[in-house]
């Protein structure tokens, strides 16, 4: 069966094309994404078939991709009804939705069809098959993302099962983010497979590993692998978890994905990108030269035939097919794109040797680096903690009487490399600090986050939902210098 590039089926053709797409995936053919189209061709199809985007362009000619407007939630997602942003103006062209509550608690609905999951399943197949050798090893895939309307858990389960349907000896189980249930299924099913793969948010999976160690779990006996998403990890974190879990090769066996509720998985770490990142971690002077910041970002690679990523003003724009096709959409993540040739030249110039092709299957795919949400939020256990939400907590009495409303968000690591939410708050002029002030602020912020974000309530373990608060004097020169624009977010 020959499968054309998928462009969002009319309702009458949907069952046929979904069946064709499944057949294409299971037999190794292209099923979705931008493959078979240049970017302008894809945009012209979007203009023709998506009412909202056609209205947005207002008759503008589509002849220069770079001249097309960047869109975001404010200018596009919230400006048009959901069906108008779907193919042919029909929500029923999709069969499932995910809901992202975002950082403000205002839900955003992202519809998709089975074909969208097939595209993302390619990414899971590359990790499970190429990195973990799950094509020849019996594998228990334990989905540790929260289950429900959020994109992580059920999406991951669907994609993992699609890979299994292709003939991989994979058995999936989805206990969600419940530590006791995860440890139970690993103990019950792990001895019957060649390897166990845990999929979830990095800080949560570390808690699972540590909880297992306290209970005497011999992690190494399960030959564990990890698939991560939602956080930027340090190489020290990767090494620590590898030691505690008995992971044989951290560069191959612990893999991060870069994805969003908006568009699914966009890029993944590869053995090549991870080895480059580990090289850079030992050469901090090169990090700022390459990425423009001293902090080491997530470094992954993406298939340009499935998604187009670009950098604009220090943040990422994506163009991709889906239930809601997106053209030059501002995700809100700080980062950039480096093509393969430029990365190779940089690494070679600084003495990095990638190894032989047998050691590191090299790709000609571009690299994307991601610092996380830009400017106003931090990522914590896979949820975005937004500065606006914290501001609301500080604006209410009695806390508001003692603080100016300025603060700084960060998620540093403690001595055990566990991340925690740190809020450094400025004392109001003339206000006196007292022993009960920081706890009161922490309680107010924690209450506000739980009240406004379902992701915070469900993603962040209950014992870690209360932030750590430090109160600083008014106009502290390090944290709140006078006369300069205040930054509400720091990273390290």
Ranges of residues in the chain with a pLDDT under 70 are: 1-37, 101-106, 354-362, 373-375, 482-485, 491-492
Q: Which of 412, 332, 410, 404 is nearest to 103 (CA)?
A: 332
Q: How far apart are CA 116 and CA 15, in angstroms?
A: 14
3-state SS assignment for residue 28: coil
Q: Which residues contact 76 (CB under 8 A, 6 or more apart)?
A: 52, 53, 56, 85, 329
Domain-located, residue 289: no
Q: What is the CATH number of the domain that holds 191?
A: 3.40.50.12780
pLDDT, residue 5, reads: 35
Q: Residue 197 has what pLDDT?
A: 98
3-state secondary structure of 96: strand
Indicate yes or no: pTM above 0.75.
yes
Cα–Cα distance between 379 and 298 in angstroms, integer? 13
- Cα-based angle 295, 488, 472 (whole degrees, multiple of 5): 105
Q: Residue 102's pLDDT is what?
A: 55
Which pLDDT score is estimated for 372?
A: 75
Residue 362 is predicted with a pLDDT of 58
Name residue, tokens 């001249």.
67
Residue 328 in any domain: the answer is: no
Where a domain ends, among 229, 261, 293?
261
Write the CA distances from 26 to 35, 132, 342, integer angstroms: 17, 19, 34
Q: How far apart are CA 488 and CA 468, in angstroms?
A: 16
User: Can you say whether residue 156 is alpha, beta or left, with left for phi > 0 and alpha for psi between -120 and 50 degrees?
Assistant: alpha
pLDDT at residue 7 in the model: 35
Instruction: Quote the pLDDT of residue 269.
Output: 96
Query: For residue 228, what are the domain limits?
Result: 113-261
The pLDDT value given to residue 71:
97
Q: Tally the domains of the chain.
A: 2
DSSP code string of 269-324: --HHHHHHHHHHHT-HHHHHHHHSSSSPPEEEE--TTTEEEEEETTEEEEEE-SSS
- Evaluate whether residue 316 is within a structural domain: no
Q: Are residues 392 and 257 in the same domain?
A: no
Residues 124 and 254 in one domain: yes
What pLDDT, on a 0 to 100 scale, did the predictor assign at position 33?
Answer: 58
Q: Is 143 among the domain residues?
A: yes
Asked, for residue 341, whether it belongs to a domain, the answer is: no
pLDDT digits (tens, 9 = 90+) for 163-185: 999 999 999 999 999 999 999 99
Compute φ and ψ for 233, nearest 5 degrees.
-100, 160
Strand pairing class (315-320; 326-338): antiparallel
Q: What angle do CA 218, 222, 227 make, to 5 degrees?
A: 115
* Predicted pLDDT at 19: 53
Of 216, 244, 261, which residue sits at a domain end?
261
**Across the beta sheet with 468-472, what order do the strands follow?**
403-410, 422-427, 468-472
Q: Is residue 392 part of a domain?
A: yes
Q: Name the residue with tokens 């480059």.
A: 276
Q: Identify the domain boundary among 240, 261, 282.
A: 261
User: pLDDT tens for residues 282-326?
Assistant: 888 899 899 988 778 999 999 998 899 999 999 999 999 989 999
Q: What's the CATH code of the domain at 443?
A: 3.30.300
- For residue 114, the surrounding DSSP H or E stretch is helix 114-125
Residue 68 lies in a domain: no
Residue 433 lies in a domain: yes
Residue 352 contacts by C-beta under 8 Å, 6 or more apart in sequence?
276, 279
């Amino acid at each position: 069966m020959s499968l054309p590039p998928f462009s969002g089926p009319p309702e009458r053709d949907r069952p046929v094309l979904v069946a064709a797409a499944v057949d294409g995936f299971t037999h190794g053919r292209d099923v979705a994404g931008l493959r078979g189209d240049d970017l302008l061709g894809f945009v012209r199809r979007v203009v023709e078939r998506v009412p909202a985007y056609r209205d947005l362009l207002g008759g503008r000619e589509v002849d220069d991709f770079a001249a097309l407007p960047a869109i975001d939630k404010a200018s596009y997602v919230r400006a048009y009804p959901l069906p108008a942003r779907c193919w042919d103006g029909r929500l029923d062209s999709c069969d499932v939705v995910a809901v992202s509550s975002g950082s403000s608690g205002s839900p955003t609905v992202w519809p998709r069809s089975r074909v969208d999951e097939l595209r993302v399943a390619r990414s899971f197949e590359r990790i499970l098959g190429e990195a973990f050798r799950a094509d020849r090893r019996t594998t228990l895939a334990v989905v540790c993302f929260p289950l429900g309307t959020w994109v992580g858990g059920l999406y991951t389960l669907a994609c993992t099962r699609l890979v299994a349907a292709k003939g991989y000896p994979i058995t999936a189980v989805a206990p969600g983010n419940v530590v006791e249930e995860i440890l139970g299924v690993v103990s019950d099913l792990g001895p019957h497979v060649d390897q166990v793969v845990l999929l979830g948010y990095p800080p949560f999976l570390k808690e699972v590993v540590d909880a297992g160690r306290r209970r005497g779990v011999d992690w190494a006996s399960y030959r564990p692998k990890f698939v991560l998403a939602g956080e930027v990890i340090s190489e020290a974190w990767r090494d620590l978890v590898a030691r505690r879990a008995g992971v044989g090769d951290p560069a191959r066996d612990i893999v991060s994905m870069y994805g969003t509720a908006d568009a699914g998985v966009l890029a993944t770490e590869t053995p090549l990108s991870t080895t480059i990142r580990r090289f850079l971690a030992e050469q901090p002077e090169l990090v700022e030269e390459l990425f423009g910041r001293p902090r080491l970002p997530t470094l992954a690679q993406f298939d340009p035939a499935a998604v187009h990523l670009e950098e604009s003003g220090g943040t990422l724009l994506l163009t991709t097919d889906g239930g809601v096709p997106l053209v030059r959409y501002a995700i809100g993540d700080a980062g950039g794109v480096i093509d393969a040739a430029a990365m190779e030249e940089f690494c070679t110039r600084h003495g990095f040797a990638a190894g032989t092709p047998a050691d590191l299957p090299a790709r000609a795919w571009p690299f994307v680096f991601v610092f996380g949400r830009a400017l106003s939020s931090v990522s914590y256990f896979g949820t975005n903690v937004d500065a606006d939400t914290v501001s609301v907590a500080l604006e209410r009495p009695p806390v508001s009487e003692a603080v100016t409303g300025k603060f700084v968000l960060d998620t540093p690591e403690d001595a055990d490399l566990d991340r925690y939410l740190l809020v450094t708050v400025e004392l109001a002029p003339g206000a006196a600090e007292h022993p009960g002030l920081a706890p009161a602020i922490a309680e107010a912020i924690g209450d506000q986050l739980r009240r406004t974000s379902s992701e915070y309530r469900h993603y962040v373990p209950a014992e870690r939902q209360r932030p750590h608060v430090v109160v600083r004097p008014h106009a502290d020169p390090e944290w709140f210098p006078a006369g300069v624009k205040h930054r509400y977010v720091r990273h390290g």
